[in-house]
Homo-oligomer: A and B are copies of this chain.
Amino acid sequence: MRPFRQVTIAHEHCDLMGGVYDPAQARIEAESVHACWVKYQGSDDPVFRDRCILIKEERGELVKHHVSVLWTDYFKPHHLEQNPEIHDLFWKATKAAGDAKKRMDPAVAERLISSIEEVAEAFRATPEASGAGLYPESTPHRVMS
């Protein structure tokens, strides 16, 4: 049994928000989007392919949501002073999610995951998130089923 989680409380007097920030939420859904593309390519059954498109649409929307929550609720003005690229990073990540919804193009799916990684790096670079999150430096395996 692992030791209980360590929680860093970033702001003592903050508003109540969604709760807890971790780019893993966006990352996991981005990998689902990629998985939908992989499965679409691997099948010639039109019903199965239709479901790939449908599920990719849902998962892409969830990526946009999680990225948006990080941008709006986690990042504060002092973060922007340290990293003026934050707005643009997030804008591009959400646009990448939109593109990945629209295309069945492997480059687009891979670009989405790269964008989310850049967002995660920006998150990890903030003092409050130093060492935080479920996002380890090692590359995670993802189990697809």
Residues of chain A at the chain B interface (Cβ within 8 Å) = 1-11, 14-22, 24-25, 27-29, 31-36, 38-39, 47-48, 50-55, 57, 59, 64, 68, 71-74, 87-88, 91, 94-95, 98-99, 101-104, 110, 113, 117, 121, 128-129, 131-145
A138 touches which one: B16, B22, B38, B136 (CB < 8 A)? Answer: B136
Q: Is the interface of A mostly helix, strand, loop or mixed?
A: helix
The answer to whether B73 touches A98, judged by C-beta atoms less than 8 angstroms apart, is yes
- Measured in the bound complex, the distance between the Cα atoms of B142 and A104 in whole Å is 29
- Measured in the bound complex, the distance between the Cα atoms of B28 and A20 in whole Å is 7
The answer to whether A64 touches B68, judged by C-beta atoms less than 8 angstroms apart, is yes
Nearest opposing residue in chain B for A33, CB measure? B19
